[in-house]
Amino acid sequence: MTTFKNLGLCTELITAVDCLGFENPMPVQEQVIPFVMNETCDLIALAQTGTGKTAAFGLPLLNLINSEKKQTQVLILSPTRELCIQIANDLKNYAQYMSGIKIVPVYGGENIISQIRQLTEQPQIVVATPGRLIDLINRKKVKLDHVSFLVLDEADEMLNMGFQEDLETILQSVPDERRTLLFSATMPKAIEQIAQKYMRDSKSISIGIRNSGSDNVEHIYYTVQAANRYLALKRIVDINPDIYGIVFCRTRQETKDVAEKLMRDGYNADALHGDLSQPQRDSVMNKFRIRNLQILVATDVAARGLDVNDLTHVINYNLPDDVEIYTHRSGRTGRANKKGIAVSIIHTREHNRIREIERMVKKQFKKENVPSGLDICKRQLFYQIERMEHVQVNDEKIDQFLPHVFKKLEYLPKEDIIRRFVSLEFNRFLDYYKNAVDLNIPDKPSKDENHKSQKERNCENRNNRDKTSKRGQRIRMKINFGAKQNASPRAILGLINDITNDKSININNIEISDKFTFFDVFADQSEQLLNAFYRNNRTSFEIDIAKESKKQRQYNNEGHNFYENARKRAKSDKSQKRDKRRRNKLNKKRTVSAKFT
Ligand code: AMP
C-alpha cells in the first residue's frame, strides 16, 4: 500500500499530514505527488473538488521550494476568495513543521494595502484570485519573475467566471520556464485551448472518468408538476431529518424566495446569493460551515467559494442549463471518501435532460417517488425515537430535578407519557401532512413500451394519474344520520361496515351534528363508499361529499384540486341519487302491493 512516507516527502510534511489525520494518500495524491517531485513536465489533472487535490499539489510543492530564498516560487490561482483562503490555510497546515515558509493569500473584497504589505515580505507561495492578482501586477506590487510553479486550481471555474483574459495575462506574466499544473473538474474546449497555448509536454491524468461524477455520489430525481417543486423540496427535507445540504436555484430571486419560504415554514435555512454584501455572505457561509445552518439555498455563483466536506445532499431545485454545472454541484457532496446524494426535482418535460446528464456523468439516475405524508410521519417519528434512545443523559445535573418531575407525572401510565412526549414534536408533521396529496407524476413510457399506441399510453397514464393522485388524500364526507337519530361514532362505523362489508375503510375525524355526521375518508375509498350506499337498498341513509369547510380548506392547500374534482364528480352523481330515490319509492310500492296480493 502506498504511504506518504514512500512518496518521498520530507519528515516535516509527513508529521504534518499525520497530525491532520491523513492515514493514506488519496488516489489523486498517489498520482500527482511523485509526478510533481520527480518529473519536469506540465500536468493536466482532471479531478473533482473534494478529491484531495490541494494536498496533491501542495505537499510536493512545499517539498520542492527553497525556504531559504525569499522569493515567490509558487503561484496558485483559484477562482474564488473562499477557495483562495482555504488553499492558503491548508498549505499553512501542511507546512506547520517547516521553518522559513511564508504563504500569502491575495483576493478581492479585502483591503489591498494590507495584502501589499504582506507581499513585501517576499512569500515563497502566493495564492491569488485572478482579478486581484491583475490589480497587484498593474500596481507592480507582486514579483513573479522567480515563479517556477504555476498552479491553476479549478481552471474550468475560472473560465466560467469570465477570467479567461485575466488568466492569459497572468500566464504571460510568469517565466516561460515555469512548470504549470492545471486542475479542473471538467475539460471544456477553452481549457484545452489554454493548455495547448501555454503548457509544454503536459502529462494528463484523470482521477475518475472524464466528465464523470464522483463514485461516492448517488444521483436521484423526483418528477413533479413545476408548481409543486417547493412542496416536493419540503418533503425531501422532511424525510431526511439529518440533512445537511445545499439547494441550488437558478436565479437570485428564486434563491431568496425558496429560502424565505423555508425559513417561514420553520426550517433551519438561509440564502446565499449575489445581492448580499461580502460580510453577509461570510456570515451565512460561516454559519453553514459550523453547521449552525442545515440548509443553504444558493445560486451557483455564490456557492462557488464554499468548501464543505460533509454535505449529505445537494438538491437541484432546478436543473442547471449546463451539464458541467451539474457536475460541479453534485461534486460538492460525496467528498473526502464520504457518501452523498445529488437530488434533482424535475417536471415531465425534463426527462430528456436527465438522460443527457446521465450520459455525460456516466452514471444512472434513480427515479424515486416523492415521499407521502405517511412515509414522512413514520420517518420523523422513528427519528425522534432514535434521538431519544441516544441522547446523552447528564445524571449529575438532571437527578436533582427528577423527583419533582416523577411526582408531577405519577398519575400517567408509561404508555401515556411516551405518547405525549412523542406528540410534542410530532403533531406538527401529523397536522401538516394530514391532507397531503401525492405529488408524483408518472414517468414518460420507457423505450420498451414504445410499441404501444399513443391512445393506449394516454389511457394508462390517465388511469395511473387517477390512482396515484388520489391515494393518501383525505376527503370529507357527510351522511344524513345525526344526533337526532341517535348517531354515535360507533353507530356510524357499524353502519359503514355493514353497508360496505369492508373493514379496511378508514374513517376518522367524525363530527356529529343534529341532522348529519361528517367524517374523513381516504379519497379512493370515498368512491367505494358512494357506490356501496347507492347500490344498497336496505338503507335509507344517503352519503355524500361534504362541502369543504373553511378549516379544511386551510389544511387542504395541497389537496385542493382533487377536492374540487371530487365535488364536480359528486354533482354528476346527483342524477344517480334521484334514480335511487325513485327506485326506493318503487320498491316500497311493490312491497305494499305485494302485501295486498
Ligand atoms: P480538497 O480536494 O483538497 O479540497 O480536499 C478535500 C478534503 O479531503 C479536505 O478536507 C482535506 O483535508 C481532506 N484530505 C486530503 N487528503 C486527505 C487524505 N490523504 N486523507 C484524508 N483526508 C484527506
Q: What is the pLDDT of residue 588?
A: 58
Helices (H), 216-318: 229-239, 252-264, 278-289, 300-303
Ligand 1 pocket mutation pick from 26, 89, 91, 183 by most atoms within 8 angstroms of CB = 26
Is the CB of 25 inside a 6 Å radius of any atom of ligand 1?
yes
Q: Closest residue (by CA) to atom 16 of ligand 1?
A: 52
Question: What is d(CA 428, CA 380) in angstroms, rounded to the nearest whole number?
Answer: 10
Atom of ligand 1 nearest to the CA of 22: 20
Q: Closest residue (by CA) to atom 21 of ligand 1?
A: 22
Atom of ligand 1 nearest to the CA of 24: 19
Is the CB of 309 inside a 6 Å radius of any atom of ligand 1?
yes
DSSP 542: -
The answer to whether residues 104 and 119 touch, using CB atoms and an 8 Å cutoff, is yes
What is 469-586's CATH topology?
A: Alpha-Beta Plaits (3.30.70)
Nearest to 159 by CA among 186, 178, 140: 186
Is the CB of 534 inside a 6 Å radius of any atom of ligand 1?
no
Q: What is the pLDDT of residue 552?
A: 47
Is the CB of 320 inside a 6 Å radius of any atom of ligand 1?
no
Q: What is the pLDDT of residue 467?
A: 44
Helices (H), 433-573: 454-470, 489-500, 523-535, 550-555, 560-572
What single string gives the DSSP state of each residue in 470-491? HTT-EEEEEES--GGGT--HHH
Q: What is the pLDDT of residue 425?
A: 76
Q: Closest residue (by CA) to atom 6 of ligand 1?
A: 50
Q: Ligand 1 centroid to 50 CA: how many Å? A: 7
Cell for 413?
401510565
Q: Ligand 1 centroid to 42 CA: how many Å? A: 23
Q: Where in the chain is the domain with CATH 3.40.50.300?
A: 4-206
Is the CB of 54 inside a 6 Å radius of any atom of ligand 1?
yes
Using only the alpha carbons of the chain, give its radius of gyration. Answer: 33
Q: Closest residue (by CA) to atom 15 of ligand 1?
A: 52
Measured in degrees and rounded to the nearest 5, phi and psi for residue 366 equal: -100, 130
Is the CB of 27 inside a 6 Å radius of any atom of ligand 1?
no
Is the CB of 232 inside a 6 Å radius of any atom of ligand 1?
no
Instruction: Write down the pTM of the prediction.
Output: 0.53
The answer to whether residues 233 and 249 touch, using CB atoms and an 8 Å cutoff, is no
Nearest to 41 by CA among 162, 160, 205: 205
Q: Please list, in sequence order, all residues whose beta carbon lies within 8 angstroms of the beta carbon of residue 241, skipping any fewer than 6 positions away.
A: 379, 380, 383
Q: Where in the chain is the domain with CATH 3.30.70.2280?
A: 469-586
Is the CB of 2 inside a 6 Å radius of any atom of ligand 1?
no
Is the CB of 26 inside a 6 Å radius of any atom of ligand 1?
yes
Ligand 1 pocket mutation pick from 9, 22, 76, 82 by most atoms within 8 angstroms of CB = 22
CA atoms 108, 336, 21, 36: torsion sign: negative
Question: What is d(CA 130, CA 233) in angstroms, rounded to the nearest whole number?
Answer: 37
Helices (H), 265-372: 278-289, 300-303, 323-330, 351-361
Ligand 1 pocket mutation pick from 80, 154, 183, 335 by most atoms within 8 angstroms of CB = 335
The answer to whether residues 330 and 213 touch, using CB atoms and an 8 Å cutoff, is yes
Nearest to 558 by CA among 462, 434, 465: 434
Q: What is the pLDDT of residue 515?
A: 87
In order along its 597 residues, the chain shows pLDDT tens digits of: 788 988 999 999 999 999 988 888 988 899 999 999 999 999 999 887 777 899 999 999 999 999 999 999 999 999 988 889 989 999 999 999 999 999 999 999 889 999 999 999 999 999 999 999 999 999 999 999 999 999 999 998 888 888 989 999 999 999 999 999 999 988 888 888 888 889 988 888 887 544 445 678 899 999 998 889 999 999 999 999 999 999 999 888 999 999 999 999 999 999 999 888 888 988 999 999 999 999 999 998 878 767 787 899 999 999 987 787 888 888 888 876 678 999 999 988 788 889 888 888 888 899 999 999 889 998 988 888 888 888 888 888 889 999 999 999 999 999 999 888 888 878 888 888 887 888 887 655 444 444 444 444 454 445 444 444 444 567 888 898 888 888 888 888 888 888 887 777 888 888 888 888 988 888 777 777 877 777 676 677 888 887 754 444 444 444 444 444 445 554 555 556 666 666 666 665 544 443 332
What single string gives the DSSP state of each residue in 6-25? GGT--HHHHHHHHHTT--S-
Could you read off the pLDDT of 293-344 as tens digits, one per residue? 999 999 988 787 677 878 999 999 999 877 878 888 888 888 766 789 999 9
Question: What is d(CA 59, CA 359) in angstroms, rounded to the nearest whole number?
Answer: 35
Q: Ligand 1 centroid to 26 CA: how many Å? A: 8
For 149, left (φ over 0), alpha (ψ -120 to 50), or beta?
beta
Atom of ligand 1 nearest to the CA of 54: 3
The answer to whether residues 119 and 98 touch, using CB atoms and an 8 Å cutoff, is no
Atom of ligand 1 nearest to the CA of 20: 12
SS (H, E, C) 65-96: CCCCCCCCCEEEECCCHHHHHHHHHHHHHHCC
The answer to whether residues 594 and 587 touch, using CB atoms and an 8 Å cutoff, is no
The answer to whether residues 562 and 523 touch, using CB atoms and an 8 Å cutoff, is yes
CATH classification code of 4-206? 3.40.50.300
Q: Ligand 1 centroid to 60 CA: how many Å? A: 15
Is the CB of 230 inside a 6 Å radius of any atom of ligand 1?
no
Cell for 433?
401532512
From the CB of residue 230, how many other CB atoms can be counted at a distance below 10 Å? Answer: 16
Question: What is d(CA 571, CA 459) in angstroms, rounded to the nearest whole number?
Answer: 24
DSSP 146: T
Q: Ligand 1 centroid to 227 CA: how many Å? A: 40
Q: Ligand 1 centroid to 51 CA: how many Å? A: 6
Strands 269-272 and 245-249: unpaired
Q: Ligand 1 centroid to 54 CA: how many Å? A: 7
Q: What is the pLDDT of residue 42?
A: 95
Q: Closest residue (by CA) to atom 5 of ligand 1?
A: 52
Helices (H), 139-221: 155-160, 164-173, 189-198
Question: What is d(CA 569, CA 566) in angstroms, rounded to the nearest whole number?
Answer: 5
Question: What is d(CA 249, CA 482) in angstroms, rounded to the nearest whole number?
Answer: 52
Q: Ligand 1 centroid to 541 CA: how many Å? A: 71
The answer to whether residues 146 and 177 touch, using CB atoms and an 8 Å cutoff, is no
Q: Ligand 1 centroid to 19 CA: how many Å? A: 13
Ligand 1 pocket mutation pick from 54, 85, 92, 338 by most atoms within 8 angstroms of CB = 54
- Amino acid residing at 377: C
Q: Ligand 1 centroid to 332 CA: how many Å? A: 13
